[in-house]
Structure 1
Amino acid sequence: MITDLKINEDQRKLYYEKGYWTQDSIRDVWHRQAAAFPDREYVVDDHGSRYTYGEIDDKAGRIASWLAAQGVQAGDVVTLQFPTWAEFCIAYVAALKVGAVIHPVARNYNEVDLEYGMNLVGSRAFLCATFSHNVDYEAQILMVRDAIPSLKAIAVLDRVAPSHSDLPTFDDIYGAWEPMTEFPPVSADDVACILPTSGTTGKPKQAMLTHNNILFSERAFTSGLGRGEHDVMFMPSPLNHTTGFFHGLISPLLLGGRAVLQQDFRAAEAIDLMNAEGVTWSMSATPFIFDMLNIMEANPDLSFTTLEVFACGGAPLPPSLIELAGRHGILLCEIYGSTESCPHVYVPLDKCTEWNGAWSGVAFEGIEVRVVDEMGRELPAGAQGEEISRGPHQFVGYLNEPDRTNEALDDEGWFYSGDLGYMDEEGRLRINGRKKEVIIRGGENISAREIDDDLIGCPGLACSATIGMPDERLGERICTFVSPTDPTHPPTQEELIAYLQSRHIAKRLWPERVEVIDEIPVTATGKVKRFILAQELKARMEDGGH
């Protein structure tokens, strides 16, 4: 059982008094909805899988019985690794039923990532696909299972390719086990989910969120966007993120609604899928709607027939994109948040057109937002500082990392985002920069320092410093400045990537542009002056670079 949670007791009492928090767990909500709507479709994906609430409940109940028989108890961690498939719902509901903590990881995690992440959280069980997208997930977990002492149970879903080991498949379990009927006690204040989140210092942190955190967050989200049980959510984002998992699946669950998943985003196919399934709303990073709107501009035969609202996170929305969406009958709504504070600021639907990208938004009901100076003192309207937030939605710490928890979350419950912005007298927030060394690429947080650490030891490289390179579609791409050991033979992008490949570094951490520089600018204490590199990159791009 995870116990190192950081919750301010005065805030806890307040949240219960106001009804923001209740005694319900996500499992309680699931069981109510499955009983109320057993024949209603809950989730569909673009590869033909369709499941009603009742079907998910039955199959998840059988997996839960098997998990319990393998010794998985309430409070244990169950790690999930799946593409954006409907069957993810079977796995996450099974974990809920047995009272476990859900730990979804990226589908592009390799064996090194799995070993590190699962040992950090103490995974008791692992559920994954056998194979997808040229990745043998079954082989990966077999490669490292002996290096994860806590791991006691593995099962695989053979949707695309048959199992090639003695591991039980989901179908094996469906046929051998009856659905669980007695459930271990779970508190709404227990941790329900652990999500990896990129930090500024190397390896990902593991953010812990309780049942109450997640349920409040998604109630605020659906209420703020005016959604109801007849709405259909389109989700192309990975299911190991707050966007894909919480917004894509928990929000429809709360509404008794439906989710439509797309495994690999392709704009034209997404539009066809959304129209065929009657999608009315979506939430994802800006590149998704950017691509769909632009392909519709180029092809007049393509259009949305049912989509009403597309909420965007990960980067400020440009006015031109909001206006383009409006011409196609879509409200583009900016959302601001993070894994730790997800989401907490939004542009109300009746203000999307009026504000036109000028503001990141206002706080959802029940959430507090401030802008503070370096001493934590609240700043007056219009003054730039660090954005902080507090509310019932907020994470309760990083697992097994009290120092990093205390750096981000103070004793009064305020989360320090590391993002820079300012507010006006009406409480409108504008985010316009970051203190953190994080690159936001297509909505995914990537640690710049992690890339630099991974490059240490690369032949021909004396030093490197990575920054975000502005990109119209993705918001940012990865640009690495390199200081060579031999100025006449600096390492190339291909050589850097080859070195990272040799160390089994995931592709998402490979530099997409390399710039040679004589010396990396640093402060007196050795910290990289990334803002100077950003200025240098801007100048080089203006001088004719791409």
Structure 2
Amino acid sequence: MISEFLVSDELKNRYYEQGYWTAETIETVWNRQSGRFSSKVYVKDNHIALTYRDVDKKAARLAYWLSERGVSNGDVLTFQVPMWAEFCIIYVAALKLGAVMHPLPKNFNTEDLVRAMTLVGSSALICPTFDHKTNYEQQAEEVSEQLGNLKAVVLIDKFKGACGDFPVLSNIVEEGPKLAPLGSGAKSDDIACILSTSGTTGIPKAALLTHNNILFSERSMIQGFGFTADDTAYMASPLNHATGFFHGLLIPMLSGATCILDAKFSPESAIDRMNSEGCTWSMAATPFIYDILQCMRRSQRRTKTLRLWLCGGAPVPSSLIQSAREHGITLCEIYGSTESCPHIYVPPAECLNWNGSWSGVPFEGIEVKVAQDDIEVPIGEQGEELSRGPHLFVGYINNKGANNRALTSDGWFRSGDLCYQDEQGRIRINGRKKEIIIRGGENISANEIDAALVGCPGIADHATIGMPDDRLGERICTFVVATRCNEADRPTVASLAAYLESKHVQKRLWPERVEVIDEIPRTATMKTKRHQLADELARRMKSE
């Protein structure tokens, strides 16, 4: 059983006294909501729709089946699921067992799975038989052989039945009125979910989140953005991350609403899907909404019901906010991480007033400070963003070194992001410690350069990093994905400089080297893997 809990008794007592934490678990809330909204569609993917009642019944049968094989309260249930409605059956079954939910990326191979499952001590694995050229069944067999202590392996036979001896989900959830034991025995301070960090700098870590962490975080978002049972979410972000799982599925559940999952995102199909399903809001990184707005600009497609889009992962340019507004969409920046789930947000009412100048203000109950070496700096000065509150994860599993680096002795989380704050408490995230280019002793934000280049002709995608330089320490290098294959039309240092000059961007932010690349490497949540670009640049420079 996982028992790490790196929160002081003082903070724990404070959160209970203030009502931010309660005795409720996510299972408690699910039982209430699935009864209240039993006949309403809870989740719909590209193929099937499931009501709250459907999910509850199927999850109960799966929980019963897993319990017969020894999976119980505190065990870790690992599942690797694409953007499928079956994800909900599995996570609710985990709740009914009191098992710890451990969703993993669908692109994890056998080696990745074994490493991640060994780290958390998984008791069971659920994955597809086959999807998108990947033989998950074969991977499951290899994982089962290497992890000989698994209590159960289940295959999701959505499109293709199993070839081997593993049981399939459809048989388990359709057989008879079998029910899990009443009440899982889980407590609100127990670990509810383990999420892998995005891994922009290397091997992901495993962040531990309690029922109270997750419920507080999602209820804060519901209150901040005014979500109700009348809303319908559109979700194209992976379900193994906080955006897809917590915000895409748990916010609708907590408010009695519906989530539409989309496994095949393209701007054209996304607009059509949102219109046909009556979607009112979504959350994803800026490339998603950028593509949608570009599609509307060049075609007659329009979103008819979409009113709100939440953007995380990078600062949102004012030009994007204005473009969204022209199409009736309020585009709000929201900031956080796996460890410190969105805790800073732009209230919809302030979206146009702040116009991209601020990343937001903290949700009620969450503390934020700007610090240098953990010591708070004066208002207006740049420093590292630190956060503390009822939403904050309670540590990385089996990683004391990472815990010491991430958490201060009094419970603050060091984000590694740079920011400044004004007298109104507004925060502006303007870079990351590791994304700051130090050119001749001057700190330059790679994110600021990337934001300035949005809309540059000839560029489909881009990302900026520091380039080693003997004289200045670093210079500015921008990797670009060109819109044209013709060598003569490809972006150059001169063409980027001309565009930035036309936008009145300071010369100190102009790229000094441009590298054309087929694709910008990103995580599943669209964060740039700058360490991979740095490796690629080093290879190219060495070959010169």
* Same fold? TM cut 0.5: yes
Q: Deviations over 1:34-77 (max 9, x none)?
A: 111110110111x2210000000000100000111111110110
Match of 1:282 in 2: 282
Residue number in structure 1 paired with 2:209: 209
Q: Deviations over 1:174-221 (max 9, x none)?
A: 244512242331100000000011457642110000000000000001
Partner of 2:327: 328
- The partner residue of 1:434 within 432, 457, 462 is 432
Displacement of 1:112 in angstroms is 1.0
Structure 2 vs 1, CA of residues 115 and 472 (structure 1 numbering), >3 Å: closer, same or farther? farther
Report the more deviating stretch, 190-199 or 356-365.
190-199
Q: Which residue of 2 aligns with 1:248?
A: 248
The 1:15/1:114 distance shift into structure 2, 3 A limit, reads same
Aligned to 1:446: none
Is contact 1:482-1:514 (8 Å) kept?
Answer: no
Match of 1:257 in 2: 257
C-alpha distance in structure 2 between counterparts of 1:227 and 1:101, whole Å? 27
| Equivalent position of 2:103 in the other structure | 104
Q: 2:537 maps to what in 1? A: 515
The aligned residue for residue 411 of structure 2 is 413
Task: Check the 8 A contact 1:345/1:364 in 2, yes or no.
Answer: yes
1:16 match: 16
- Verify the 8 A CA contact 2:387 2:412 in the aligned structure 1: yes
Q: Structure 2 vs 1, CA of residues 170 and 438 (structure 1 numbering), >3 Å: closer, same or farther?
A: farther
The residue aligned with 2:423 is 425
- Residue identity matched to 2:196: P
Cα 1:174/1:519, change in 2 over 3 Å: closer
| 2:293 corresponds to | 293
3-state SS of paired residue (1:515):
helix
Partner of 2:474: none
Is residue 267–residue 288 contact of structure 1 (8 Å, CA) maintained in 2? yes
Indicate conservation of the 8 Å contact 1:234/1:248, yes or no.
Answer: yes
CA RMSD, 1 decimal: 2.7
TM-score, length of structure 1 as denominator length: 0.82
State the SS of the aligned residue for 1:514. Answer: helix
For residue 51 of structure 1, what is the aligned residue in structure 2? Answer: 50
Quickly say closer, same or farther: Cα 1:476–1:8, change in 2 above 3 A: farther
Structure 2 counterpart of 1:410, one-letter code: T
Distance 1:175 1:54, change over 3 A: closer
Write the deviation string for residues 291-345 of structure 1: whole angstroms up to 9, x where unpaired.
101000000x200110110000000000100000000000000000000000100
- Asked if 1 retains the 8 angstrom alpha-carbon contact of 2:95 and 2:184, the reply is no
Amino acid at match of 2:536: V
Among 390, 399, 402, the alignment partner of 2:397 is 399
CA contact (8 A) 2:345 2:361 kept: yes
2:283–2:311 CA contact under 8 A, matched in 1: yes
Secondary structure of the 2:315 match is coil
Equivalents in 2 of 1:336, 1:369: separation in Å? 12
Range with greater deviation from structure 2 (131-140 or 388-397): 131-140
Describe the SS at the equivalent of 2:536. strand
Q: Which amino acid aligns with 2:310?
A: A
Aligned-residue sequence identity (percent) comes to: 49
Which residue is equivalent to 1:308? Answer: 307
**Count of paired positions:** 470
**How far is the alpha carbon of 1:358 from its aligned partner?**
0.2
Which 5+ residue runs of structure 1 have no aligned equivalent? 440-466, 484-495, 498-506, 521-539, 541-546
Separation of aligned partners in 2, 1:26 and 1:184: 11
The 3-state SS of whatever aligns with 2:418 is: strand
Contact 1:122 1:150 in 2 (8 A): no
Rate the CA distance shift 1:198–1:171 in 2: closer, same or farther, 3 A.
closer
User: CA distance change for structure 1 residues 370 and 323 in 2, over 3 Å: closer, same or farther?
Assistant: same
Residue 89 of structure 1 aligns with an amino acid whose one-letter code is C
Q: Alpha-carbon deviation of 1:436?
A: 3.9
Matched residue SS, 1:208: strand
Structure 1 residue runs of 4+, over 2 Å off?
A: 174-177, 198-202, 436-439, 467-483, 507-520
Aligned residue number for residue 155 of structure 2: 156
Spell out the pairing of 1:495-534 with structure 2 (5 A cutoff): 514-516=536-538
Aligned to 1:387: 385
The question of 1:78 aligning with 2:105 is answered no
In structure 2, distance between residues paired with 1:388 and 1:175? 48
**Higher alpha-carbon deviation: 129-138 or 310-319:** 129-138
* Amino acid corresponding to residue 188 of structure 2 in structure 1: A
Q: Which amino acid aligns with 2:264?
A: D
Query: Which residue is equivalent to 2:509?
Result: none
Distance 1:274 1:33, change over 3 A: same
How has the CA–CA distance of structure 1 residues 198 and 50 changed in structure 2, closer, same or farther, with 3 Å as cutoff?
closer
Partner residue of 1:447?
A: none
Asked if 1 retains the 8 angstrom alpha-carbon contact of 2:370 and 2:386, the reply is yes
The answer to whether the 8 A contact 1:268-1:295 is kept is yes
- For 2:506, the equivalent position in structure 1 comes to none
Aligned to 1:369: 368
Query: 1:204-243: per-residue Cα shift (whole Å, max 9, x none)?
Result: 1100000000000000011101111111111100000000
Q: Which amino acid aligns with 1:515?
A: L
* Structure-2 separation of matches of 1:284 and 1:475: 16
Partner of 1:352: 351
